[in-house]
Structure 1
Amino acid sequence: MTQPIALGTLLPDVTLKDQDGNDVTLSALRGKKVLLSFHPLAWTPICRDQMQGLENAYDAIEASGVVPLGLSVDSVPCKKAWADSMGLKRLRVLADFWPHGGFAQSLGLFRERQGFSERANLLVDQEGKAAWLKVYEIKTLPDLDEVLSVLRR
């Protein structure tokens, strides 16, 4: 794995599709903080719990002035079926599908051998710079209370 993006670094601009096929462009979110919650693959229990946790905490995240986004290397149709199966109503889950994991690669968060991203939470500040990053063991569910505490700072 390459070195993850350094704090204070401006993220590359990217446009990814959400589960409904709508474009989400990172630079269009400037002026707001953004939580990028990377999960390796849809349809896995820990990834499901990670995204459902964000959905359940959506109001608290939004109250912190943060836009939460889930993302993985899965395709848009896969993301749509998965989001529907979990009953996601507000959380947008993005497809970093093509080039395969390209955005995760640009941030040093792609596992080349496995072909998917790290499990990680990256907080992007209002200027589009990396403000906080935590990479988790693949089988570890991120501690949502810890994430919320970081977002409230």
Structure 2
Amino acid sequence: MNRISVGDFAPDFILKDNRGQDIRLTDYKGKKVLLSWHPLAWTRVCAEQMQSLEANLAEFESYNTIPLGLSVDSYPCKNAWAKELGIAQVQLLADFWPHGEIANKYGLFREQEGFSERANVLIGEDGRVLWVKTYPIPELPDIAEVLNQIKGV
């Protein structure tokens, strides 16, 4: 599947968050949404990536942006992980079953490893993709770069 590109309409989805609530992308129409993909919970770089979303939540909100963390882990796993990391507000979504289906729709699923790329996808108020960046798996995304993309759009 082709990777999602700037200008594409972001595929809608319904995924459970770490609290077991159904989250639908189109429920955020009129807001920007940052889909911050990480390969697997319980790993150091992924933890730092998700903690950076939580630490900067007020700034995201000041730019009318909802940050969401996504991976192929199950929602009970993501709930335990969020508690361990002290993530109380940012929703961590479980692309668990069918395994990696949404990552695949966005062209971000790594079939050989069975998890997603490390990536950020910024979606505009109208549902179109504004920015896409993938990172080497061991690299922590620069939160300042992410916020600059949000501010510049």
Q: Could you say whether these structures have the same fold, taking a TM-score greater than 0.5 normalized by the shorter chain as the test?
A: yes
Tell whether 2:121 aligns with 1:115. no
Structure-1 residue corresponding to 2:17 = 18
Tell whether 2:92 aligns with 1:93. yes
Q: SS where residue 50 of structure 2 aligns? A: helix
CA distance in 2, matches of 1:34, 1:61: 9
Aligned residue pairs total 152
Structure-2 residue corresponding to 1:61 = 60
- What root-mean-square deviation, in Å, do the aligned CA atoms of Structure 1 and Structure 2 show? 0.7
CA distance in 1, matches of 2:27, 2:90: 17
Letter in 2 for 1:141: L
Deviations 1:6-31 (A, max 9, x none): 21111121100100001110011111
CA distance in 2, matches of 1:12, 1:92: 19
Q: Which runs of 4+ in 1 moved over 3 A?
A: none
CA distance in 2, matches of 1:7, 1:62: 22
- Structure 2: state its 5+ residue gaps: none
Structure-1 residue corresponding to 2:31 = 32
Deviation at 1:3, TM superposition (A): 3.0
CA distance in 2, matches of 1:87, 1:58: 13
Deviations 1:47-76 (A, max 9, x none): 000000110011111111100000000001
Q: Percent identity?
A: 51
CA distance in 2, matches of 1:32, 1:105: 24
- Structure 1: state its 5+ residue gaps: none
Structure-1 residue corresponding to 2:77 = 78
